[in-house]
A and B are shown apart, each in its own frame.
Chain A
Amino acid sequence: MRTFMRILSAEQIKMSRSYIWVLLLVSPAISVVIGALADVTEGTTGGITWQILLGVMAMAHSMLFLPVLSGIFAALICRSEHSDGGWKQLLALPVTRGTVYLAKFAMIMLLLAAVQLLFLGALLGVGLFRGAEGAVPWGKLAASLFGGWFACLPLAALQLAVSQRWTSFGAPLALNVSLTIPNMLVANSADYGPYYPWLQPMLAMSPMSYYGDETFGAFNLPLASLMIVVTGSLVLFLAAGFISFRRKAV
């Protein structure tokens, strides 16, 4: 555990002076623009609600940015090791490969957690600015943000698995994007949507009643089934990456 924290703290150093911090802001910033401009009061009598605002702002964030960012963070975290012999220096230190791998994974998830917190800030800011009705539904927001983050676990695991294996920076990202783009189609499918890992962040984050019709596409799933898909793919991807990393010839 101590080694784990030490590697994590070393990872932090490696990320300083990189653009990774800018990436944290991209999605929340775009969400602010979407949230500020969206016309969501059409057809309703009252003003904007927190629920609707969350639905509007989380759409692009959870369908596109969260999956893509999982891939970018994974690729960035491995790139510094690939580019100038970092792996051999790191793995010749008194650390186990398992600890290194888990620390890298934890770092990706910490970055995604930071993105979620910034997104929460953006949501609260827009909500207060536009005078959303009622008290802030903390419970709902927390569930949505945590759910979205949790659903990123398998994506990050897969991306870390391919990023540690492929020395190219672009290839894992290309894979990531090509797996994320189908989200737009898969989201409409009640058959495939529930089982498509890249769609899970969106399913986990969106307030169900956003579409009014609760049977629309894959959106009517109970949280429990989402979590089974997420946990299952997490175990699979993380184990595959872990085994591959332990066997990696450096």
Chain B
Amino acid sequence: MNETVIKTSDLRKVYRGRAAVEHLNLNIGRGEIYGFLGPNGAGKTTTIRMLLGLIKPTSGNIEVFGRELRSHKLDILRKVGSLVESPSYYGHLTAVENLEAIRRIIGVPKGRIAEVLDIVSLTGEEKRPVKGFSLGMKQRLGIAAALLGGPELLILDEPTNGLDPSGIQEIRSLIKRLPAEQGITVLVSSHLLSEVEQMADTVGIIRQGQMVYQDSIAHLQQQAAGDLRLALSEPEAALDLAKRRGCGGELREGRLILPRMNDARVALLVKELVENGHAVYRVEEHRQSLEEFFLQVVEGGAS
């Protein structure tokens, strides 16, 4: 059921002796919005360029739609729309002419140009030379170009870079709409966690060319959700009690660490602990924001 659209195994790219991407195993399922997250220079764009056949991997394997990219490049690219790094455009041409140049190559009906311009809300600007466009408009034109061929897989590299807040909002809602409406799989890269968090179902975090985290956003949020920490006189006995009460938990550095629970349960548990003769020194809630978790992962401290 959950068919894999992109699968890389042990992907590696070395530039002048320095590995830009190493041991990268991407796994992206159909209909997913996959957030490819990492600080600038982590290897996101390098990976994306390899996925599109723009550069050759030093080693490793790429499969898209279940077929090897190396031997089925054209068939694969026919079903892929992409926007890599800064938007590509021919400045002296209008938006329509820019799209027409691509349309002539991929051979879709002419009416498709108006459709994609409408999707990215550039209708009304199509007759102006693109060099006069704002960065946001160029970005949207780039997305229009990526959508032109009616792709099954959309690869967008930092699509909201340089956009104003309303533009970001627009692109974000557009991206979120695509899988639902047209069954498109989206790979979107970003260096902003908040952005990925708001769009993606699955997140892959890359650091110095290596994947350090790959799981669902929900799982990420759960991991970052925080916990309750109790310092008490007899932690082991307290853990037993907590377990009997169905709170789970563990001991760490002599403290009882419990998963988050609501206030009433906390009150009840503390009361019982006190009644059982424990001295409760501290009850702390430790909350780690997703941002902290991300930084921790990115800086290499993650388990």
Q: Does A110 contact B (CB under 8 A)?
A: no
Q: Check A84–B74 contact: CB distance below 8 A.
A: no
Q: How many residues of A contact B (CB 8 A)?
A: 26
Q: Check B80–A10 contact: CB distance below 8 A.
A: no
Distance (whole angstroms) from the CB of B262 to the closest CB of chain A? 50
Q: Does A88 contact B (CB under 8 A)?
A: yes
Chain B residues, Cβ within 8 Å of A80: 90, 92
Q: Does B82 contact A (CB under 8 A)?
A: yes
Q: Check A88–B85 contact: CB distance below 8 A.
A: yes
Q: Check B97–A92 contact: CB distance below 8 A.
A: no
Distance (whole angstroms) from the CB of A202 to the closest CB of chain B? 33
Q: CB < 8 Å: which of B53, B92, B102, B142 contacts A17?
A: B92
Contact with A along B67-110 (1 / 0, CB 8 A): 00000011101101010111111111100010011101111000
Q: Check A7–B105 contact: CB distance below 8 A.
A: yes
Q: Does B237 contact A (CB under 8 A)?
A: no
Q: Check A14–B101 contact: CB distance below 8 A.
A: yes
Smallest Cβ-Cβ distance to A13: which chain B residue: B101
Query: Provided the pairs A9-B104, A93-B77 are in contact, do residues A85 and B82 lie with their beta carbons within 8 angstroms?
Result: no
Q: Check B97–A95 contact: CB distance below 8 A.
A: no
Query: Provided the pairs A7-B105, A92-B54, A94-B106 are in contact, do residues A14 and B78 lie with their beta carbons within 8 angstroms?
Result: no
Give Cα A96 to B53, complex, Å.
Answer: 10
Q: Does A16 contact B (CB under 8 A)?
A: yes
Distance (whole angstroms) from the CB of A201 to the closest CB of chain B? 30
Q: Does A178 contact B (CB under 8 A)?
A: no
Query: Provided the pairs A16-B93, A17-B93 are in contact, do residues A94 and B104 lie with their beta carbons within 8 angstroms?
Result: no
Q: Check A88–B88 contact: CB distance below 8 A.
A: yes
Distance (whole angstroms) from the CB of A82 to the closest CB of chain B? 11
List the interface of chain B (C-beta within 8 A of A): 49, 52-56, 73-75, 77-78, 80, 82, 84-93, 97, 100-102, 104-107, 129, 142, 145
